[in-house]
Amino acid sequence: MWWLAVLVTIVAVVGAYATWTVARVERLHRRARAAEAALLAKLDDRAETVLKFVGNPGFEEVVALALSVVAVPADTQRQRELREYAENDLTHALRELAQNPVWTEDLESANRRVALARQIHTDFVRDAVASRSLPMAVLLRLHHRLQRPQYWDIDDPVQ
């Protein structure tokens, strides 16, 4: 009869561990999606900040790049790649204008917020991807059920 108690205990422990693992993996994936939404919001905010410089001499290229950033959604993989290219072009153009006297604290602040959001997103994606390879997650085939989070390949605006 003691073997039945041991078997029930083992099943309870494995079940609790499986439940904990599923909850952890799903939570990390939700956080990665939320961090991506926050990153996109900060990128849009930075583009809107740049659009305040419409009509200022020397900002024509940057304003055009900001318009292209705002115009590209990130719904499909192709749109995501286009958005990454547009964001990188905008970052490079903003770096070149950093010495311009019209440059304001708003742009510096927007760049810092983008850099922070990018780092947070990268950390959450790294953790979510790592959680997919946990033995229990593989056994429960969570990697097939949950969409794999993706990194945003954009330059760090604060360098």
Q: How far apart are the first and last CA of the chain?
A: 67
Higher pLDDT, 129 or 91: 129
Closest CA to 86 of 35, 51, 115, 47: 47
Distance CA(19)–CA(16), nearest Å, equals: 5
Contact 149, 124 (CB under 8 A): yes
Closest CA to 29 of 109, 132, 120: 132
Confidence at 102, pLDDT banded by 50, 70, 90: low
- In this prediction, residue 36 carries a pLDDT of 93
Confidence at 38, pLDDT banded by 50, 70, 90: very high
Structure tokens that stand for 143 in this block: 């990697």
Q: Where are the domains of the chain?
A: 15-145
Confidence at 96, pLDDT banded by 50, 70, 90: confident
- In this prediction, residue 34 carries a pLDDT of 96
Contact 143, 27 (CB under 8 A): no
The CA-atom distances, in angstroms, between 159 and each of 99, 129, 134 are 14, 27, 35
Mean local confidence (pLDDT), 54-81 = 77
Higher pLDDT, 53 or 131: 131
- In this prediction, residue 101 carries a pLDDT of 62
For the chain, the average pLDDT equals 85
Lowest mean pLDDT among 21-30, 65-74, 87-96: 65-74
